[in-house]
């Protein structure tokens, strides 16, 4: 059955069809699905919109999941990354890469700098390790020549 069918639309042929856009004056109150959709606030008893997350009369939270989701969206949008956190992402590149992956879609303004810091950190660690090996080899050669 077409869910958009207007309640007072004639079911049998012969009657003049009523336009869904401009209901007739004698249009009856919607029945079935639409009638059930009318909701009342559990707290104050006032009538509220079927999809309402908060009662407009008493501010009672009616849909905690929707409120949490909305708060999360705001938190994602406002999320920032501190210099301290970026330094940590550089020192521990795997941590930086993990954050970058975790927030790639929800917090790109956090993910991008963390990834950058992790890449710089990886390069820095590689250079440091390579330099250490070269210095060590040099010292071994130096002491080897002495004795
Ligand atoms: Zn209420």
Secondary structure (H, E, C), 94-117: HHHHHHHHHCCCCCHHHHHHHHHH
Residue 16's pLDDT is 53
End-to-end CA gap in the chain: 97
Domain ranges, residue 42: 36-78
Alpha carbon separation from 42 to 35, 52, 61, 70, 137 (Å, rounded): 18, 12, 10, 22, 77
Residue 29's pLDDT is 52
Residue 146's pLDDT is 75
Residue 68 Cα to ligand 1 midpoint, Å, equals 19
Residue 39 Cα to ligand 1 midpoint, Å, equals 11
Residue 62 Cα to ligand 1 midpoint, Å, equals 9
- Entry field: residues in the chain: 147
Which residues of the chain are modeled with pLDDT < 50? 1-3, 5-7, 9-11, 13, 18-19, 22-24, 26-27
Residue 58 Cα to ligand 1 midpoint, Å, equals 4
Residue 40 Cα to ligand 1 midpoint, Å, equals 8
Count of structural domains within the chain? 2
Distance from C-alpha of 2 to C-alpha of 56, rounded to nearest angstrom: 32
- Last residue of a domain, which of 52, 78, 104? 78
Alpha carbon separation from 104 to 11, 81, 95, 120, 123 (Å, rounded): 53, 14, 14, 18, 22
Are residues 85 and 146 both part of a single domain?
yes
Global pTM? 0.58
Residue with tokens 């250079």: 127
- Last residue of a domain, which of 78, 104, 131? 78
Residue 62: inside a domain = yes
Point out which residues pair with 40 in neighbouring strands: 47
Residue 70 Cα to ligand 1 midpoint, Å, equals 20
Residue 51 Cα to ligand 1 midpoint, Å, equals 14
Are 97 and 118 in contact by the 8 Å Cβ rule? The answer is yes
Residue 139: inside a domain = yes
């Amino acid at each position: 059955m077409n869910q958009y069918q207007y309640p007072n639309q004639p079911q049998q042929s012969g009657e003049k069809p009523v336009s869904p856009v401009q209901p007739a004056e004698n249009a009856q109150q919607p029945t079935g699905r639409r009638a059930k959709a009318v909701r009342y606030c559990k707290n104050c008893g006032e009538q509220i919109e079927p999809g309402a997350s908060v009662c407009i009369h008493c501010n009672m939270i009616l849909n905690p999941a929707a409120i949490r989701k909305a708060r999360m969206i705001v938190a994602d949008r406002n999320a920032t990354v501190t210099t301290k956190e970026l330094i940590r992402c550089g020192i521990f590149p795997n941590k930086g890469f993990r954050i970058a992956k975790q927030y790639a879609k929800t917090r790109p303004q956090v993910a991008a700098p963390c990834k950058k810091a992790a890449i710089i950190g990886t390069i820095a660690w590689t250079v440091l390790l390579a330099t250490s090996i070269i210095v060590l080899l040099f010292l071994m050669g130096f002491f080897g020549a002495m004795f």
